Amino acid sequence: MRLKIVSVVRNDVEGIQKTLESILRHGKEFNKSHLDVEIIVQDGQSTDNTLEVASSFSENFETSGIKLNLFSEQDKSLFHAMNLATAKLPRETLVMYLNAGDTLYEHLDTHLLCKELEEFWHSGDSLFFGVSINFFQKNRYQMPNPSITTQGQFLNWSKSNTPVHQAIIFKNNSDIPLHYRMDWAIMSDAFLIYYIMKFHEVRFRPIIVCQFELGGQSSDYSKFSWVRKQIFEQTAISRIRNEPIVYVSLRICSLLIKYILSLLLGRKKFLRLHMEILKRFK
């Protein structure tokens, strides 16, 4: 059973170091569970010493039984870089995306995860959903929230909530290509997730898999051009989820309110407020 962890990076020494350290922390446990792990670092031709720092992990990963492969080539966007990395992967593998700055959960039950992945590997399911700890500064919340413990509850929750991409493990052997839309700037990952869910069986287990820091492009509401893209992409995803028109309208209103609040409060203050709201309602 092979797990490929894809990590996209460009000029982010601190982020790639944090990501690789989190994987290395669990390396020996992965090895004990007979999970063949390989890390693909897809660098966008960094101009700082990102590649050198990533390369410095090679010996430690080799000791832990994990392969580390580094590639550096020009890309057009985050999703293009992810496609470049995915194209290098063989079929019949499990794939996880932990881009620079994303980390495996520090208290991950590696043995349990490997056991669940073994069952997933031999099943007819195409996606494995775990749980993420989302954080921004000192604020943290779990997604989906701790009350979601069963497959049925998760599927119901996912009808109006988007699972965290970093907590998902893909099976790279379905008839739907593991490929991200290049014409989408923000939610291409969500589109792929829901497109696969539309045609394939999936499974959920309440295992905390990763930690994800908010504050990137997907949570930037300070520019109207960006919010307009979010409205377009989110509406398309809502159609795939067959959401009632009233839900779609409410979500558009919510995005516009976030844009106004982000202008009034400033981006950082708004994100703190947004986190508090998410902790209560997610």
DSSP symbols for 69-115: EEEE---SSHHHHHHHHHTTS-SS-EEEE--TT-EE-TT--HHHHHH
Residues 145 and 174 in one domain: yes
Domain shared by 185 and 233, yes or no: no
**Model confidence pLDDT, tens digit, residues 216-266:** 655 667 788 888 998 999 999 988 888 888 888 988 998 898 888 888 887
Same domain, residue pair 25 and 135: yes
Same domain, 147 and 264: no
Last residue of a domain, one of 164, 186, 213: 213
Is residue 148 within 8 Å of residue 154, measured between CB atoms? yes
Whether residue 246 sits in one domain with residue 139? no
> For the CA atoms of 233, 235, 241, 245, what is the dihedral angle to 10 degrees?
180
* Residue, of 243 and 274, whose pLDDT is higher: 243
Q: What is the pTM of this model?
A: 0.89
- Both 194 and 245 in one domain: the answer is no
Instruction: Give pLDDT tens digits for 134-154.
Output: 987 777 889 999 999 999 999
Look at residue 250 and give its three-state secondary structure. helix
- Between 16-25, 142-151, 184-193, 211-220, the lowest mean confidence (pLDDT) is in 211-220
Q: How confident is the model at residue 27 (pLDDT cuts 50, 70, 90)?
A: confident
Report d(CA 147, CA 161) in Å as an integer.
Answer: 14
13 and 153: one domain? yes
Alpha-carbon span 6 to 8, nearest angstrom: 7
What is the Cα–Cα distance from 169 to 127, expressed in whole angstroms?
Answer: 6
Whether residues 107 and 242 share a domain: the answer is no
Average pLDDT, the chain: 89
CB 71 within 8 A of CB 88: yes
Tokens in use for 224?
């109207």
pLDDT the model gives residue 130: 98
- Give the separation between CA 117 and CA 48, rounded to whole angstroms: 36
Question: 143 and 239 share a domain?
Answer: no
Q: Are residues 197 and 239 in the same domain?
A: no
Q: The tokens of 161 are what?
A: 């909530």
- Co-location of 141 and 45 in the same domain: yes
Residue for token digits 């720092």? 53
Residues 86 and 118 in one domain: yes
What CATH number has the domain bearing residue 136?
A: 3.90.550.10
Query: 43 forms bridges with which residues in the sheet?
Result: 9, 72
- The domain boundary, picked from 197, 213, 229, lies at 213
pLDDT bin (cut points 50, 70, 90) of residue 190 is: very high
The count of domains in the chain is 2
Q: What is the pLDDT of residue 277?
A: 65
Residue 41 sits in which domain range?
Answer: 2-213
